[in-house]
Copies of this chain bind each other. A is one copy, B any other.
Amino acid sequence: MNGIFEATELLSILFVIAIIAEAMTAALAAGKREMDWVGVCVLGCVTALGGGSIRDVLLGHYPLTWVEHPSYLLLTGGGALFTIAVARYMHKLRNIFLFLDAVGLVVFTVIGCNVAIRLDLPVVIIVASGMITGCAGGVLRDILCNSIPLLFRSELYATVSVFTGLLYIGGLSLNLNHDLVMAVSMALGLALRLLALRYSWSMPKFVYGGNIH
């Protein structure tokens, strides 16, 4: 129990780092679209906290994380605004942000799986819950920036989330030590994401030229 508690605490710390990193990257996307400071702030909050919010709304899991911890709203909004001041230096930190984004993806995934596990939901929904938590924030960001979600056209983002979720659930179903399962599934998911980034791995695209209706 002590072990689980410590691991959960580490997960919380990683979660906070990850939402701030997500908010800062989203702020850059807002800058690309020449949004004003309010837009930067809102886009940061929505991107960082939107995935978990959609998950909780779909599962009826109240109160939402940021309603229970309003400081998350301040941290992500503040992080987004802070980005305006340091944007000129951020391309130098590009790799750090890509790394933090990848950490966020696996952390969000495991947290999302845990929500569904605590609600006693079936395996398919646990994996879906992890994927929604990990990926839906970025989808909201792209909708608000008026572009087709990157998730639908890019690297193995959602795949990494499903992979991490399946490892995590698989490990737990074998009654292995919780912390070990969590650490290993997150590490392997992170590795897959970093390899996908490094070697530009991507899903095959489906190109259809006919008429739909």
Q: What's the Cα separation between A213 and B37 when bound, in Å?
A: 21
A158 touches B122 (CB 8 A): no
Q: Is A29 an interface residue (CB 8 A)?
A: yes
Among B36, B147, B206, the residue within 8 A (CB) of A154 is B36
Q: Is A67 an interface residue (CB 8 A)?
A: yes
Size range of the chain A interface in the assembly: 35 or more
Q: Is A146 an interface residue (CB 8 A)?
A: yes
Q: What's the Cα separation between A91 and B206 when bound, in Å?
A: 16
Q: What's the Cα separation between A146 and B144 when bound, in Å?
A: 9
Taking CB as reference atom, which chain B residue is nearest A136?
A: B42
Tallying the copies of this chain within the complex gives 3
A152 touches B148 (CB 8 A): no
Among B29, B124, B206, the residue within 8 A (CB) of A40 is B206
Taking CB as reference atom, which chain B residue is nearest A72?
A: B124
**Per-residue 0/1 for A45-76: is the Cβ within 8 Å of any B Cβ (1 yes, 0 no)?**
00000000100011110111011001101100
B64 touches A62 (CB 8 A): no
B206 touches A128 (CB 8 A): no
* B contact residues around A73 at 8 Å (CB): 124-125, 128
* B contact residues around A146 at 8 Å (CB): 146-148
Q: Which A residues, 12 to 54, have Cβ-Cβ distances below 8 Å to chain B?
A: 25, 27-40, 42-43, 53
Q: Is A110 an interface residue (CB 8 A)?
A: no
| Min CB–CB distance A165 → chain B (angstroms) | 13
Q: What's the Cα separation between A57 and B123 when bound, in Å?
A: 22
B153 touches A144 (CB 8 A): no
**Per-residue 0/1 for A138-164: is the Cβ within 8 Å of any B Cβ (1 yes, 0 no)?**
010001111111011110011100000
A152 touches B159 (CB 8 A): no
Q: What's the Cα separation between A46 and B210 when bound, in Å?
A: 22
Stretch touching chain B among A3-11, A170-178, A181-189, A197-205: A197-205
B205 touches A36 (CB 8 A): yes
Q: What's the Cα separation between A125 and B70 when bound, in Å?
A: 6
* B contact residues around A205 at 8 Å (CB): 34-37
